């Protein structure tokens, strides 16, 4: 028996976004001895194959089920045991039918029933599982014409759409009627902007009919990376997002997302704008900049803070930590930015836990030692026993920890966390772990910023040939295969550059660029300055259950 048939087919992204006019559809119908693929058999197969509205081929055959046909099935279909007595078995028919079907998109009315039988015989005959995409005309009709017909039976739809072939429970005739219904439904779907395969596959799941008509706003969106902007009737941005496939991502908002925020967003939506980008990283940066510029009210998670906060090591005889909003270069060091004062305060407490830094504001002795000095957790000048030279060693370790040796600050926190865990003080250990991670991320941001500043202008290329130009921590151009179109160049001189990002937006952009450089194994094509990273790692702690997983 011939069995050299290509079965396994996994649609690619390009296949799914193909125009419907270029997609091959195989409309099929099966007649069976009953309703369950587990204990019933196929008696007839009928199929028609179309592409672009043109009939490519027809397949029809009776099948010997290898057993009796129930009388009620004979009454329903007209297929008798005499008719199938000399018909081929399913094992003999299957190879030629699978070859006929190929990698086309399967179409049927209540097609899950037909697929259950087809998948069962494919498995029984030892073929790989079917991976063809499929479309159910009953589900399409439910979405598109439910209010026009009394029910969604194939006969009702065929009559409604004036099919030249009426279904009579014979495989080929039913397949031809289904094909007519399917093409008529495609015309209806086209009025909603369904012009590609991925649109068609998602259409039956679309919900929220009160706003579904607005899907027409997505008709002109390309299937390319970029940024999309939802606007209200006044033209103000409601929501800004990014995607590697603008059309596919935006249309998903109309396909069953039941979140209250999305429902409200769809209610206010009046227009959809977009910006096409050359790469995913350009889309990420563009989205970030636009969110910070416009502050859309539906971008709640990524909405920028009203002001940034920084931790400053003050420049005085006994330096201390101070939380400030303006990052002036009038101290010994800066750390940040932080999205909230609370986050900055947690990092200050982490630094206090790591080193016996001065906590009180008394610059000179008098009035007795402060509480932290009395408890022995801080070295403060308030008790009169500490000299500036002695305290300087603590400050030197702090500055080293903020720079090339973060372990000086992080290791004491880890040791203390383990001690608390051994003592079963788990809640305190968890709080300390969160403080450790906040500090670690702040140190990592500082390191990334310093590295990108030292590099100055650089061009990097990933393994896919996408190139980016970065100038002092800011994206200034993108391109392909080493060709970069720079949009701007930073005019700041090194003496004016800060040791930390001047804002949350700058910090987030630097982290996105660093993630791209690290994740995509980017190759440096050009570096104006120096590109070096300290070898001392900065580790983020995970809960024990996460590490075990």
**Active site members:** 169
Q: Interior CA angle at 367 toward 362 and 373, to 5°?
A: 60
CB of 28 closer than 8 Å to CB of 175: yes
CA separation for the pair 121, 125 (Å, rounded): 6
CA separation for the pair 459, 509 (Å, rounded): 16
Residue tagged 């570096």 (tokens): 527
Residue tagged 């003999």 (tokens): 92
CA separation for the pair 366, 37 (Å, rounded): 91
Transcribe 324-382 into DSSP letters. Answer: ESS--S-SSEEEEEESSHHHHHHHHHHHHHHS--B-S--SS--S---HHHHHTS---GG
CB of 131 closer than 8 Å to CB of 8: yes
Q: Which two tokens stand for residue 339?
A: 């999205």
Among candidate residues 485, 454, 455, the one with its CA nearest the CA of residue 467? 485
CA separation for the pair 37, 335 (Å, rounded): 66
CA separation for the pair 166, 174 (Å, rounded): 7
How many helices and strands in the chain, by DSSP H and E? 20, 16
Tell whether the torsion through CA atoms of 13, 19, 20 and 26 is positive or negative. negative
CB of 142 closer than 8 Å to CB of 156: no
CA separation for the pair 114, 94 (Å, rounded): 14
CA separation for the pair 472, 461 (Å, rounded): 17
Residue tagged 């179109």 (tokens): 485
CA separation for the pair 236, 253 (Å, rounded): 19
CA separation for the pair 379, 287 (Å, rounded): 46
Question: In 417-512, which ranges are E strands?
Answer: 457-461, 466-471, 474-480, 483-486
The DSSP letter of residue 40 is -
Q: Interior CA angle at 410 toward 406 and 416, to 5°?
A: 160
């Amino acid at each position: 028996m011939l069995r050299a048939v290509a079965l396994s087919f996994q649609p690619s992204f390009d296949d799914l976004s193909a125009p419907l006019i270029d997609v091959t559809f195989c409309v099929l119908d099966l007649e069976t001895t009953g309703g369950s693929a587990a204990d019933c058999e196929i008696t007839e197969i009928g199929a028609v194959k179309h592409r672009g509205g043109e009939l490519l081929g027809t397949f029809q055959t009776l099948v010997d089920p290898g057993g009796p046909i129930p009388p009620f099935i004979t009454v329903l279909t007209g297929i008798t045991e005499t008719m199938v007595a000399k018909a081929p078995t399913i094992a003999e028919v299957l190879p030629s039918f699978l070859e006929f079907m190929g990698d086309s998109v399967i179409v049927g009315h209540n097609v899950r029933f037909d697929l259950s039988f087809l998948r069962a015989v494919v498995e029984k005959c030892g073929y790989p599982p079917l991976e063809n995409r499929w479309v159910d005309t009953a589900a399409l009709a439910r979405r598109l014409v439910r209010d026009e017909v009394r029910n969604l039976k194939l006969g009702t739809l065929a009559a409604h759409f004036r099919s030249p072939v009426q279904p009579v429970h014979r495989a080929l005739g039913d397949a031809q009627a289904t094909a007519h219904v399917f093409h008529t439904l495609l015309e209806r779907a086209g009025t909603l902007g369904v012009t590609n395969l991925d649109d068609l596959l998602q259409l039956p799941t679309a919900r929220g009919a009160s706003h579904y008509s607005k899907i027409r706003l997505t008709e002109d969106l390309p299937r390319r990376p970029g940024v999309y902007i939802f606007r209200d009737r006044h033209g103000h941005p409601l929501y800004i997002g990014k995607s590697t496939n603008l059309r596919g991502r935006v249309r998903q908002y109309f396909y069953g997302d039941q979140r209250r925020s999305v429902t409200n967003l769809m209610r206010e939506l009046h227009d959809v704008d977009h910006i096409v980008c050359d790469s995913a990283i350009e889309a990420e940066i563009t989205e970030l900049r636009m969110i910070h510029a416009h502050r859309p009210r539906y971008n709640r998670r990524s909405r920028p803070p009203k002001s940034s906060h920084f931790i400053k090591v003050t420049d005085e005889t006994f330096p201390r930590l101070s939380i400030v909003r303006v990052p002036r270069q009038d101290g010994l060091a800066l750390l940040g930015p932080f999205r909230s004062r609370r986050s900055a305060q947690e990092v200050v407490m982490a630094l206090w836990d790591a080193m016996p830094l001065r906590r009180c504001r008394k610059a000179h002795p008098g009035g007795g030692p402060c509480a932290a000095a009395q408890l022995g957790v801080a070295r403060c000048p308030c008790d009169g026993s500490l000299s500036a030279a002695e305290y300087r060693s603590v400050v030197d370790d702090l500055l080293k920890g903020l720079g090339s040796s973060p372990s000086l600050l992080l290791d004491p926190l880890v040791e203390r966390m383990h001690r608390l865990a051994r003592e079963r003080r788990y809640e305190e250990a968890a709080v300390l772990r969160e403080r450790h991670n906040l500090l670690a991320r702040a140190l990592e941001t500082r390191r990334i910023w310093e590295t990108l500043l030292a590099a100055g202008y650089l061009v990097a290329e990933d393994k896919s040939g996408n190139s980016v130009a970065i100038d002092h921590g800011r994206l200034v151009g993108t391109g392909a295969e080493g060709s970069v179109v720079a949009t701007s160049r930073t005019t700041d001189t090194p003496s004016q550059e800060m040791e930390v990002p001047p804002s949350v937006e700058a910090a987030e952009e630097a982290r996105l660029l660093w993630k791209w450089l690290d994740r995509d194994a980017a190759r440096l094509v050009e570096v104006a300055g120096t590109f070096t990273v300290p070898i001392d790692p900065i580790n983020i702690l995970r809960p024990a259950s996460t590490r075990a997983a």
